Every structure is written in C-alpha cells, then in structure tokens.
Amino acid sequence: MINDTDVLKVDYSQLEELLKLGKWKEADEETAKVMLKAAKREKEGWLNIYKFKEFPCSNLQMIDQLWVKYSGGRFGFSVQREIYVEKCGGKLGEDYFMNVFEDGGVFNDFYDQVGWRENKEIIYSYNELTFDISAPRGHLPFAFRHCIRGEQPKSGCKRVYMGDNPRFYFSDFIPKIIACNI
C-alpha cells in the first residue's frame, strides 16, 4: 500500500522546469512518469484502477498545483474537475456513477470543452492533442490517461489494454480527485 509520506520520494524538479518553460508536451509526458514513480509502478509502466485508488493524494495535489501555477490556471486536474462539474453539469458523490454510463451527455460535453473530441469523435491519438497554452482550458494534463488505458508508451507508460471507453478512466479519476480534495 502507498501512503502520503511517499510524496517526498518523488522529484518534481524536471516537471516544474518543463512547466516553467512552457514545454507542455514534455511536461505532460513527465507528469505520467512522476505519477508512475509515486505509485511505485515504474517497472510495470501502467496503473490499474486498483493501484490508482491507492495513489497518494499529496502527489496528486503537488502535480495539480504545478500545472495550475505555471499555466496560469488553464491546465490541471482541479481545472478539469471544475469544468466537469460547473460547465458540463457533471455530478459528484453517489450520483456520479450515473454519469459514467450515460450515452453521451456529460462526458461528451466534457470532452468537447477540454478539446479531447473533434467532430463528435474522441481523440485517441496523443499526437492530435494541442500542446500549447492556446489549447482549450483543461486540455492538459492528458498523458496520465494512457497510463491507465495504455496507449502512449512515450510518456513512460507501457501499452496495456484497459478498454476503449474513456469514460472508464473518468469513473475512477473523478472520485480520486474528490477524495484528495483537488
């Protein structure tokens, strides 16, 4: 089991430097790497939903704070949560799971808002993302999703099939950022 004292064992200096320099793609890839390190899953190169539930809140909070700070509030997990709830009407708490299996609705709205869907098609290719401060608010970080879904080996994540439905990613992510008070 992972605990919050492990936050001290992760070096965020490379992530912070990349964010300071506005190197968004490299920072996104570094985010996945530090998350794997924090979860003690570097060797495996991926997280499953059970390991993510144990992910230290202090690490998630640190990563979010860095993204929010250096993007001027445009990017970060807390920004994504805010968009999900305030702009898209996503629910938290017990009603949250009703959103997960809705056909379209809240998730399509969210993906549209953050630019993860174009022409009603979800973006699955990492290279189709916008790694620029002009990207839609909440567009980044993104690479971590591939640590769960396994599509993006360049981020430090090995290819692991976890299903094609991005809603499954969110079904575990939103409760965790709520639990971590992000």
What is the mean predicted confidence (pLDDT) over 80-98?
A: 73
Give the model confidence (pLDDT) of 157-178 as tens digits. Answer: 443 333 344 444 555 677 788 8
Largest CA-CA distance found in the chain, in angstroms, rounded: 44
Query: CA torsion sign, 139 to 24 to 169 to 78?
Result: negative
* Range ranked top by mean pLDDT from 7-11, 78-82, 126-130: 78-82
Q: Tokens in use for 18?
A: 């990349």
Q: Helix 57-70 crosses helix 24-38 at what angle (to 10 degrees)?
A: 170
CB 15 within 8 A of CB 127: no
User: In the chain, what are the domain boundaries?
Assistant: 4-179
pTM: 0.82
Q: What is residue 13's predicted lDDT score, i.e. its pLDDT? A: 96
- Average pLDDT value for residue range 138-164: 54
* CB-based burial, 87-125: b 16+ in 10 Å, e otherwise: ebebbeeeebeebbeeeeebbbbbbebbbbbeeeeebee
